[in-house]
Structure 1
Amino acid sequence: MAVVTDRDRNGGFVRPLSIAESVHERIYERIMSLEIPPGARIPIDGLARELNVSQTPVREALTRLEREGLVQKAHLIGYSASPQLTRKEFDDLYKFRLLLEPESARQACLNLTPETLARIEGAASDMEKGEPPVDRNSRYSRFARADAHFHDEIMKVADNATVRQAMNDQHIHLHIFRLMFHSRVTQEALEEHEHLLAAFRAGDADAAYEAMHDHISRSRDRLVAAFE
C-alpha cells in the first residue's frame, strides 16, 4: 500500500497518515462518491485484500465511519453503507438547518474576534484546495469534509454547545453531499460562503443571518433534483 501524507494549509508535508487513517480515507471517498452505493454491504475481508492490508485497519476505519454516520453495522450481517436520505428526511433536515444555522451565523458574527475570523477564513480556504494527485472522487469527498468543518467552525464561534452537538449528531454535510456528485454543487457553495465571509468581515450580524439562510436555501434547491 502506498505511503500517504497529510499536508498543512500551505501545502507542506506534515506527517505520514497511519494505515488506519489511509484506509478510512479511501473507504470514505468511495462512499461519498457512491462508488460504494447506499445500502451496499462492505465485506471486511474483501476490502482488506483489495487495499492490501490486514483486516484490523479496515475494522478500525469502518468503526470510525459508523460513528460518522456513513456506515451501519448489523448483527450477523456486518457493515453496509448507510441508506440514502429519503425525500422526507431531506426536507426535514433542511427545515432543521434553516431553524438553527442562520441564527448561529448571526451569533457567530456578534462573537467574532480577529482570531476566530481567521479560523473561519482558514476553514473556507481549505475547500478550494486539493492534495495532488487528486481525482474527481477524492476532491469531491474532501470538499464535503471541508464544508462540514467550515460550518462547524461557525458553530464553535456561535458558542452554543447544544446547537452544535445537535448539528453534529445529524452528520448533515456528509449525508447531503452523497445526494449529488456534481461540480456545480461545490462551485456555487464556494460563492455563497464568500458572501457569508463578507458579512463576517463587515461585522454585519443581520447580513450574516441572511447569507446563511440564502446558502442553505440554495443548497436545498440544488440537491432536491436528486429526488426527481
Structure 2
Amino acid sequence: MSPATLPSRHSIGEDVYGALLSDLIALRIPPGERMSVDALARHFGVSQTPVRAALIRLEAEGLVAKKFNSGYSAAPMPSGAYFRDTYAMRRLIEPEAAALSAGRMTSAQKKDLARLCSEMEALTKGDTLANYGRFAQLDGQFHALIAGACGNAIIAETLERLYAHMHLFRLRHHTAVAEEAVKEHLLISQAIADGDVEHARSAMQAHIDASCQRMEPFFRVLA
C-alpha cells in the first residue's frame, strides 16, 4: 500500500476518518477486509491514535466491526431486509419531520440547509468517486438538520441511529445518484425556506421514494 496524501480539513483525526469513510463507501475497502491499525497508521503517515479514533467512530456508525482478539474489519453489507425496513421507517417519519421543520426552522438553520445543498452540488462537479464519502456525510447532515429542527427529539434520535445514508451509498457509486439527490434536496430546502408545510412533506416523500427506486435493484439481491 503506497503512502496516501490527506486533504487538509479540521484535524488529523477528521482527515483519517474522512479518508477511511470514502474508502469504505466506495468499497475500496471491501466488506470483511481486515483493517490493521498499525498498517493504516503507516499508510496515512500518522500515529495510531487518530486511526483508532476514526475506527471507533466508524464502528459506532456500523461501517466497521471489531472482534475480540482479531481487531477491526470492514462491516458486512447490510441485508436486503435491512434496506427495505430502513426505507419503510423513513417513509413513516421523514416527511412529517420535514413538514414540522417547515414551520419551525430558524433563519440560521435554513442557511445551513442551503449551504449543505450547495456543498453537495459542488461535489458532483469534481471527482465523484473521491468525493463520494464526503457526499454521504453531507447527505446525512442534510437529513439530520431537518430532523433536528422538527421539534420532536424521538424522530431526530431514531433517524440518527439508522446511519441510513452511510450504508446506502455503499450500495452503488454513480454520478447520477448524487445529481438526482441534489435536485430533490433543493426542492425540500426551498419548501422549508418558504415555510410551505405541505410542499415540504410531499417533497421529502418524493425524495425517499425516488431514492428507494434508485437503490432497490442493488439491495434486492442481498441476502
**TM-score normalised to the size of structure 1?**
0.88
Residue 216 (structure 1) shift = 0.2
The question of 1:41 aligning with 2:34 is answered yes
Say whether the 8 Å CA contact 1:109–1:208 is kept in structure 2: yes
Q: How far apart, in 1, do the equivalents of 2:110 and 2:47 lie?
A: 43
Say whether the 8 Å CA contact 1:45–1:55 is kept in structure 2: yes
Q: How does 1:87-102 map to 2 (within 5 A)?
A: 87-102=80-95
Say whether the 8 Å CA contact 2:91–2:205 is kept in structure 1: yes
The question of 1:153 aligning with 2:156 is answered no
Say whether the 8 Å CA contact 1:123–1:153 is kept in structure 2: no
Query: For residues 107 and 223 of structure 1, do their structure 2 counterparts lie closer, same or farther at Cα, with a shift above 3 Å needed?
Result: same
Question: Paired residue for 2:175?
Answer: 183
Q: How far apart, in 2, do the equivalents of 1:197 and 1:50 lie?
A: 39
Question: Paired residue for 1:225?
Answer: 217
Aligned-CA RMSD value: 2.0
What code does the residue aligned with 1:162 have? I
Q: Secondary structure at the match of 1:80?
A: strand
* Residue identity (%): 38
**Of residues 5, 8, 15 in structure 2, which corresponds to 1:5?**
8
Describe the superposition over 1:92-124 as per-residue Cα deviations: whole angstroms up to 9, x where unpaired.
Answer: 000000011000000001113333322221222
Question: Paired residue for 2:206?
Answer: 214
Q: Secondary structure at the match of 1:72?
A: strand
Describe the superposition over 1:75-104 as per-residue Cα deviations: whole angstroms up to 9, x where unpaired.
Answer: 011111111121111100000000110000
Residue 199 (structure 1) shift = 1.7
**Of residues 2, 5, 11 in structure 2, which corresponds to 1:18?**
11
Describe the superposition over 1:196-224 as per-residue Cα deviations: whole angstroms up to 9, x where unpaired.
Answer: 12322332211111110010010001011
How many residues are paired up?
A: 217
Say whether the 8 Å CA contact 2:59–2:66 is kept in structure 1: yes
Question: Paired residue for 1:124?
Answer: 117
Question: Paired residue for 1:11?
Answer: none
Question: Paired residue for 2:76?
Answer: 83
The question of 1:195 aligning with 2:198 is answered no
Q: Secondary structure at the match of 2:103?
A: helix
**TM-score normalised to the size of structure 2?**
0.89
Say whether the 8 Å CA contact 2:128–2:175 is kept in structure 1: no
Question: Paired residue for 2:131?
Answer: 139
Q: How far apart, in 2, do the equivalents of 1:51 and 1:30 lie?
A: 13
Residue 50 (structure 1) shift = 2.1
Say whether the 8 Å CA contact 2:121–2:179 is kept in structure 1: no
The question of 1:62 aligning with 2:65 is answered no
Query: For residues 193 and 75 of structure 1, do their structure 2 counterparts lie closer, same or farther at Cα, with a shift above 3 Å needed?
Result: same
Q: Return structure 1 stretches of 4+ with deviation > 6 angstroms.
A: none
Say whether the 8 Å CA contact 2:18–2:134 is kept in structure 1: no
Q: Secondary structure at the match of 2:72?
A: strand
Say whether the 8 Å CA contact 2:184–2:207 is kept in structure 1: yes
Q: Which runs of 5+ in 1 are unaligned?
A: 7-16
Q: Which runs of 5+ in 2 are unaligned?
A: none
Say whether the 8 Å CA contact 2:6–2:44 is kept in structure 1: no
Question: Paired residue for 1:105?
Answer: 98
Q: How far apart, in 2, do the equivalents of 1:56 and 1:129 lie?
A: 32
